[in-house]
Amino acid sequence: MKGENKRSVIVGIFVFLGIAILVTGILTLGGQQKKFVKAIHLKAVFDDIGGLQTGNNIWFSGVKIGTVRKINFYGDSQVEIEMNVEEAVVEFIRKDSKATISSDGLIGNKIIVIYGGTTLAPPVQDGDRLESVMPLDTDKMMETLQVNNENLVEITADLKTLTSKLAAGEGIVGAVMTDSVLAQNFKSILSNLNTASINSNRMLTDLNKFTAKLNQEGNLFNDLITDKTIAPEIKATVQSLKSSAENTQKMTEELKLITDKFNSNDNAISVFLNDPQFAADLKSTMINTDSATYNLNRGLEALEYTWPFRKGFKKKAKEEAKSNN
């Protein structure tokens, strides 16, 4: 009798422990799945959920706030996710928040991450649908990485070929790196460029000093730029020079007309200047006039000694001598 009671007690203890473990497990799993907390339902629609399953976690600002409640097909080829979100964090999630699919670690389970939102928007309510943002496709990322790896291999091979040619002295760069004469010439070119740069800097310094002197008050150049009275005077001078040039041009045209008339044969001056026969006749007339004048002077001198006029010339000579005394 005692043995049966002892066995019953032992069985009861094991049953109690089993029930306790079961209840503890249920409470633990329920706590992880947010089954025993007040929650609201939020929704988001994705083109591809990438293996997301019911029960996966939902995170907000690095904190687990709920689980995936249900997955439904939506529209033609989209998927609608229903989420259980703790009511305690609803006030921090805004209607303009976004939802995206991420991974729990590098290769962990899929999760939904809620982020963003501004204080200008009101908090979410039960049944609201958040804007979804498609995550980066891991397969496409791997394909891109594969292409990048292939390109990197090609670049490495080309770089190896290039360095081999440079080491062998091929090409201009290789020749410069291996030929001491070319290297010396290159150094000489750099030295000349450095000298030219120094001279250019010196020239710029001198030019700055020169411009500074030009900008000093009392300088002619500065007066021409800053003095408002000089500009009208210069304009007046230029206008006067322009008028003089116009008058000179007009006078030149008139002189040309006069010279043209001198060169023609229809006026007295042109005949006087250009007719050779007239010049010869004029010369002959001058010669004849000179001869006549000479003969007249000789006749007047001889007239003094003729008898009718001798007495008068003597009387004139005496009066001149008396006036001189």
pLDDT band at 179 (very low <50, low <70, confident <90, very high): low
Comparing 294 with 206, the larger pLDDT belongs to 206
Which residue do the tokens 């928007």 mark? 121
The pairing of beta strand 63-74 with beta strand 57-60: antiparallel
Name the β-bridge partners of 111. Answer: 102
- So where are the chain's domains? 33-135, 141-171, 276-307
Percent of the chain with pLDDT over 70: 63
Give 119-152 pLDDT, tens digit per residue.
Answer: 889 999 998 999 999 876 666 777 788 888 888 8
The C-alpha atoms of residue 153 and residue 159 are separated, in whole angstroms, by 10
Tell whether the model's pLDDT for residue 79 goes beyond 70: yes
Looking at residue 255, its pLDDT comes to: 77
Give 273-299 pLDDT, tens digit per residue.
Answer: 666 666 676 677 777 777 777 766 666
Q: What is the CA radius of gyration of the chain?
A: 63
Tell whether the model's pLDDT for residue 80 goes beyond 90: yes
Claim: this prediction has a pTM higher than 0.85: no
Looking at residue 42, its pLDDT comes to: 93
Cβ contact 68:54 at 8 Å: yes
pLDDT band at 114 (very low <50, low <70, confident <90, very high): very high
Looking at residue 146, its pLDDT comes to: 84
φ, ψ of residue 114 to 5 degrees: the values are -100, 130
Q: Which string of b and e fits 48-61 if b means at least 16 CB within 10 Å?
A: ebeebeeebbbbbe
For residue 236, what are the CA distances in angstroms to 207, 215, 224, 228, 311? 33, 25, 15, 13, 79
Average confidence (pLDDT) over 159-178: 68
Give 202's contacts (C-beta < 8 A, 6+ positions apart).
Answer: none
Give 23-60 pLDDT, tens digit per residue.
Answer: 776 666 655 555 556 889 999 999 888 888 998 999 99
Looking at residue 112, its pLDDT comes to: 92
Number of helices (H), then strands (E), belonging to the chain: the values are: 9, 7
Name the token pair of 137: 């496709």
Name the token pair of 257: 């007309």
Selection from 75, 90, 85, 159 nearest residue 122 by Cα: 90
